[in-house]
């Protein structure tokens, strides 16, 4: 996907998140994030938006931590969130394509990385916010869901930080049934090695529509379908959380 597409999605998803949070109320529980209320979700996502903005806006070329969570609630918190989200969108949209700043996953450029990462960060948390409401959550486009699965498997879980490991080598297949996209994930005592494409001999397959797989791989929904050794699906559930 192009950077401009990611920025448009980030823009729309942030607005949906704020709307859902306002409708649910900041005291509402977030079923997809046990122990969190909507205020925790909004504070976290707003902090991440400001953290990301600083790298691009200030050209920071090394890691720095976020500024912490605000002591805000209710209308003031939602206004704070909307202001930070707007600044992130505007910063990314106005940044030069060759902006030099820190990033932490492979990407064509730092700008492409931050636009993609924040689009997916915000989409997953928008789904969290909508889970605090009754009704059907907003849809996720197939191409964007596939992009997010790719980022998660080939980006996040290729890092040394990934805890998805097995003593005995195993193979996990992830299949998006509404497209021809298939990922093969090799598990071992080392970080997972993933590639786009199907290899024979998978020990477990996770399958379903791309949007459902996207959310389930981020541990927001049950896996649509698990075939083969279900302990591998359980391993994913228990160890794949990204910090």
Q: How do residues 127-183 score in pLDDT, each as one tens digit?
A: 999 999 988 999 999 999 999 999 999 999 999 999 999 999 999 999 999 999 999
Give burial (CB, 10 Å; 0-12/13-18/19+) of 219: middle
Give burial (CB, 10 Å; 0-12/13-18/19+) of 150: middle
Please tell me the distance from the alpha carbon of residue 185 to that of residue 173, in angstroms, as a whole number.
6
Q: Which domains does the chain have, with CATH numbers?
A: 3-131 (1.20.120.450), 144-239 (3.30.1050.10)
Tokens of 35: 């122990």
Residue 243 has pLDDT above 80, yes or no: no
Global pTM value: 0.97
CB 241 within 8 A of CB 233: no
């Amino acid at each position: 996907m192009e950077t401009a597409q990611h920025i448009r999605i980030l823009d729309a998803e942030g607005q949906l998140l704020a709307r859902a949070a306002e409708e649910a109320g900041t005291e509402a529980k977030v079923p997809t994030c046990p122990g969190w209320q909507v205020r925790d979700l909004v504070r976290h996502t707003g902090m991440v938006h400001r953290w990301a903005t600083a790298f691009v806006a200030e050209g920071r070329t090394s890691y720095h931590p976020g500024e912490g969570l605000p002591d805000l609630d209710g209308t003031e918190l939602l206004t704070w969130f909307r202001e930070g989200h707007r600044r992130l969108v505007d910063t990314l949209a106005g940044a030069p394509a060759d902006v030099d700043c820190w990033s932490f996953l492979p990407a064509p450029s730092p700008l492409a990385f931050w636009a993609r990462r924040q689009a997916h960060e915000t989409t997953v948390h928008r789904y969290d916010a909508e889970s605090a409401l009754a009704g059907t959550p907003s849809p996720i486009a197939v191409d964007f869901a596939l992009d997010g699965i790719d980022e998660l498997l080939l980006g996040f879980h290729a890092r040394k930080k990934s805890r998805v490991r097995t003593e005995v080598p195993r193979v996990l297949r992830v299949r998006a049934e509404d497209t021809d996209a298939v990922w093969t994930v090799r598990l071992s005592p080392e970080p997972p090695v993933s590639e786009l494409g199907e290899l024979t001999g998978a020990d477990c397959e996770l399958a379903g529509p791309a949007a459902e797989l996207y959310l389930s791989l981020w541990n927001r929904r049950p896996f649509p379908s698990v075939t083969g050794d279900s302990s591998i699906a359980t391993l994913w559930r228990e160890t794949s959380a990204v910090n």
